[in-house]
């Protein structure tokens, strides 16, 4: 008779205690969702404040980023799904206790709202579009009236499109309020999606929702600052971004203070960033290069030093992207031992 001693089956690769089920698609999706939430939040906010002409890049130009960011993020999410053809089943029910259900419905709401918002400003942002070989006219020939030259004046072919555009412009303020609320929910959801996983100590923290929201607002403010040609608007969003960077650093410090004051599994989760394998990625690239350095550059610029606005903006966007990659990857490594 042969006896075998089975100690544990928990060390099966990629099953337990390390569960790698989320790859590059999820952090990219979370980043793009946060970026879209950020630019839409400021667009709606400054329209509601009746400052759309004063801060035209924030209200009219930067929101063009949002529909593209959401679409690319959703494509990444579909690539991650095991059965992508069944994604529609998320919309057959509403589960208020499920972050994924909240996310699915918020995305369904904010996607058409962002497209409508951008569409109502197309005539102002691009009053006449120079065409090359008529490609633009061919692409939109099904909705635009034919043009005799290489310019498009945004004359809609169908009357109902013109009527719908007029209606949306007339009710732009209620539209702005809907976008403002849904953008906040979207920004918070990108963090709550992780914090809802109680089995992962790094993610099981209530501060992730506000942290991801502030990070998304920061990347949105940086994008507006980068795109703007108005010195006054650049200055405003530089000041806003400095405030958001300060709040984000505050949340990060308190996130790890909570870990270090918690049980052993949370202390071990924090140690991944303090001497562990994610120290350089998080400490150097996220905190120093992605938050502290752009904050210093923006302060220098406000003090009168010449710093190209693209430098802090790129650093903030890169830091926000890497932050989500690090949090998703590190969170899957942390675990409870039973």
Q: How far apart are the first and last CA of the chain?
A: 32
Q: Is the pLDDT of residue 93 over 90?
A: no
Compute the distance between CA of residue 191 and CA of residue 212 in angstroms, rounded to an integer.
5
- In the predicted model, what is the mean pLDDT of the chain? 83
Listed ranges 89-93, 145-149, 196-200, 293-297; the one with the highest mean pLDDT: 293-297
Looking at residue 139, what is its pLDDT? 58
* CATH numeric code, 25-333: 1.20.1630.10
pLDDT above 70 covers a percentage of the chain that reads 85
Looking at residue 132, what is its pLDDT? 45
Torsion angles phi and psi, residue 336, rounded to 5: -95, 140
**Residue with the larger pLDDT of the pair 224 and 144:** 224
Contact 213, 37 (CB under 8 A): yes
Q: How do residues 228-252 score in pLDDT, each as one tens digit?
A: 999 999 999 999 999 999 999 999 9
Compute the distance between CA of residue 125 and CA of residue 28 in angstroms, rounded to an integer.
28
Q: How do residues 187-201 score in pLDDT, each as one tens digit?
A: 998 888 888 877 788
Q: Is the pLDDT of residue 148 over 70?
A: no
**Residue with the larger pLDDT of the pair 150 and 121:** 121
pTM of the predicted model, to two decimals?
0.86
Q: Which of 314, 310, 126 is nearest to 229 (CA)?
A: 310
Angle at the Cα of 146 from the Cα atoms of 140 and 148, rounded to 5 degrees: 125
Contact 143, 161 (CB under 8 A): yes
Chain centroid, CA 309 distance in Å: 20
What average pLDDT score do residues 61-83 get? Answer: 88
Looking at residue 274, what is its pLDDT? 84
Counting beta carbons within 10 angstroms of the beta carbon of residue 104, is it exposed (0 to 12), middle (13 to 18) or buried (19 or more)? buried
Question: What's the chain look like in SS3?
Answer: CCCCCCCCCCCCCCCCCCCCCCCCHHHHHHHHHHHHHHHHHHHHHHHHCCCCCCCHHHHHHHHHHHHHHHHHHHHHHHHHCCCHHHHHHHHHCCCCCCHHHHHHHHHHHHHHHHHHHHHHCHHHHCCCEECCCCHHHHHCCCCECCCCCCEECCCECCHHHHHHHHHHHHCHHHHHHHHHHHHHHHHHHHHHHHHCCCCCCCCCCCCHHHHHHHHHHHHHHHHHHHHCCCHHHHHHHHHHHHHHHHHHHHHHHHHHHHHHCCCHHHHHHHHCCCCCCCHHHHHHHHHHHHHHHHHHHHHHHHCCCCCCCHHHHHHHHHHHHHHHHHHHHHHHHCCCCC
Contact 258, 202 (CB under 8 A): no
Q: Which of 81, 72, 69 is nearest to 23 (CA)?
A: 81
Looking at residue 336, what is its pLDDT? 74
């Amino acid at each position: 008779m042969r006896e075998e001693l089975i100690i544990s089956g928990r060390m099966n690769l990629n099953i337990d205690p390390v569960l790698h089920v989320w790859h590059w698609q999820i952090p990219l999706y979370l980043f793009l969702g946060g970026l879209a939430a950020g630019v839409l939040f400021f667009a709606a906010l400054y329209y509601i404040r009746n400052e759309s002409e004063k801060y035209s890049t924030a209200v009219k130009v930067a929101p063009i980023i949002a529909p593209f960011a959401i679409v690319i993020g959703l494509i990444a999410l579909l690539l991650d799904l095991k059965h992508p053809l069944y994604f529609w089943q998320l919309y057959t029910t509403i589960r208020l206790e499920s972050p994924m259900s909240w996310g699915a419905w918020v995305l369904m709401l904010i996607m058409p709202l962002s497209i409508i918002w951008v569409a109502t400003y197309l005539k102002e942002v691009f009053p006449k579009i120079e065409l090359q070989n008529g490609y633009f006219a061919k692409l939109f020939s099904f909705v635009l009236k034919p043009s005799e030259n290489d310019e498009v004046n945004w004359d809609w072919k169908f009357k109902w499109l013109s009527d719908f555009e007029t209606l949306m412009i007339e009710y732009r303020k209620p539209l702005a309020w809907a976008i403002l609320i849904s953008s906040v929910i979207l920004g918070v959801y990108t963090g709550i999606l992780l914090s809802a996983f109680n089995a992962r100590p790094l993610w099981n923290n209530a501060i992730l929702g506000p942290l991801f929201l502030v990070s998304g607002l920061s990347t949105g403010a940086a994008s507006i600052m980068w795109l703007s040609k108005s010195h006054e608007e650049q200055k405003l969003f530089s000041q806003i971004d400095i405030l958001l960077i300060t709040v984000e650093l505050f949340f990060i410090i308190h996130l790890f203070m909570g870990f270090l004051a918690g049980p052993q599994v949370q202390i071990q989760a924090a140690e991944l960033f303090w001497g562990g394998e994610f120290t350089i990625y998080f400490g150097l690239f996220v905190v120093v290069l992605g938050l502290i350095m752009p904050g210093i550059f923006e302060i220098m610029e406000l003090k009168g030093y010449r710093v190209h606005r693209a430098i802090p903006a790129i650093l903030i966007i890169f830091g926000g992207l890497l932050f989500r990659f690090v949090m998703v990857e590190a969170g899957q490594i942390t675990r409870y031992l039973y």
